[in-house]
Amino acid sequence: MRILQISSAQSLGGGERHLADLANGLVDRGHEVFVALRQHSALNDELSKVAKENITALPLRNSLDVSSARALASLVRKNDIQIIQAHMARDYPLAAYAARRNPVSRLILTRHVLFPLNRLHRLTFSGASRIIAVSQAVATQLRADKVAPPEKISVVLNGVDTRRFARAREQFNRQEFLKTWKLPEPGWLVGTVGELTPLKGHQDFLRAAAQISKDIAGCNFIIAGIDHSPDGKNETQVEKLIDELDLRKQVRRVKWLDDLAQLYCALDVFVSASHTESFGLAIVEAMASRTAVVVTETEGAREIIRDGETGLLTQISDPNELAVAIQSLLNDEATRLRIAAAAQRDVAEKFSVERMVDETEKIYQASLK
């Protein structure tokens, strides 16, 4: 098949990781994959299997970018594209226009988030051959919003490269990591990964960290995430709270890491304090790294975690409960290791990239019949 993936994302988040893994996996299966991105997109470096000549830079400014819509239509026609797949709401109308101008092509829209769609996007969904939801929670939201007939909506759970994270665990050298980060040994390490936005619950994480620091000596905390707010206010609020809670010595902040697998392996406990999560890719990555996880029971997390077996679920916006759950794992090595091992097995069985690519490929084939 000749497949075009479209994304106007500038930063690298869960949806972009999904697109990169999908595109690379499709190339491995012999499909010819094309990708339309913004100039200087972070995705460029992630598309290792896609031929460079098949990656096109377009403005993709917004859902009403007529010139980009026309360029996409031309790209589809020139390369005899059979499948057009868009991953962001602002790209849906542009992809739909390209599909209408090339009736042989089939439009696939992937929905990664739970936020409501506007009227323009609802109209766009009517022209899609199939809509892919990355979790049951997203599919439920789409059906409730009545954006498309239920039979058009399919669930393909996100996947991760489980073998890469397993290899990282096998090759991981904790002493070297701690030395590089100038962290004390022995000591506990608890961390979270995610964009600096209130919805990710970083303030709850920090309040839990303050409570843990009072009870457990030698515990350090890492926050990895970028602030995409125009004025940097989210980062400012996080930094202010670190000072207010007197955590400057215990908390290490990094904007991002090229190899998150190393961080996951270094952590004794990975934490997701999100207030909402359509899936939770970072949670699955940590589990694939055989790291114990404590997460808030968002819609997406409930589909991933078996409470007490592959992780611990806590109430949303409850730093006290979050702290208690983290401490319970730090204080019980046997339980921590058991949960981490079970989580890694679970991810390998249910959340592999191979399974994700296989299910997506079948949707493509069905839409072309």
- How high is the pLDDT of residue 365? 97
- Together in a domain, 43 and 81: yes
Taking the whole predicted model, whether its pTM rises above 0.75 is answered as: yes
- Together in a domain, 18 and 153: yes
The mean pLDDT of 306-326, rounded to a whole number, is: 98
What does the block give as tokens for 187? 């000591």
- Together in a domain, 251 and 290: yes
| pLDDT tens profile 50-109 | 999 999 999 999 999 999 999 999 999 999 999 999 999 999 999 999 999 999 999 999
Nearest C-alpha neighbor of 7 from the set 45, 42, 32, 31: 42
- Together in a domain, 216 and 186: yes
The mean pLDDT of 287-311, rounded to a whole number, is: 97
Give the whole-angstrom CA distance, residue 214 versus residue 212: 5
Give the whole-angstrom CA distance, residue 346 versus residue 327: 23
- Together in a domain, 236 and 338: yes
Q: Give the count of beta carbons closer than 10 Å to the beta carbon of residue 230.
A: 6
What does the block give as tokens for 113? 């988030």
Domain total for the chain? 2
- Together in a domain, 304 and 358: no
- Together in a domain, 91 and 189: no
- Together in a domain, 146 and 105: yes
What does the block give as tokens for 125? 């969904």
* Per-residue DSSP letter, 311: B
Helix %, strand %, coil % of the chain (to 5): 50, 15, 35
| pLDDT tens profile 124-149 | 888 899 999 999 999 999 998 888 89
- Together in a domain, 181 and 81: no
Sheet architecture: strand order including 106-111: 55-57, 32-37, 2-7, 83-86, 106-111, 130-133, 153-155
- Together in a domain, 239 and 320: yes
256 has pLDDT over 80: no
What does the block give as tokens for 233? 């206010």
Instruction: Tell me whether strands 188-193 and 2-7 are parallel, antiparallel or unpaired.
Output: unpaired
- Together in a domain, 173 and 289: yes
- How high is the pLDDT of residue 5? 98
In the block, tokens 């790291």 appear at 291
**Burial class for 245, CB neighbours closer than 10 Å (0-12, 13-18, 19+):** middle
- Together in a domain, 25 and 56: yes
Collect contacts of 143-152 with beta carbons under 8 A, ≥24 apart: 145/116, 145/117, 147/117, 147/121, 147/122, 152/128
269: CATH: 3.40.50.2000
24 has pLDDT over 90: yes
Read off the amino acid at residue 325: A
Structure confidence at residue 331 as a pLDDT band (50, 70, 90): very high
Q: Which domain holds residue 290?
A: 162-350
Nearest C-alpha neighbor of 288 from the set 357, 221, 341, 225: 341
291 has pLDDT over 90: yes
Rg for the chain, CA atoms, rounded? 21
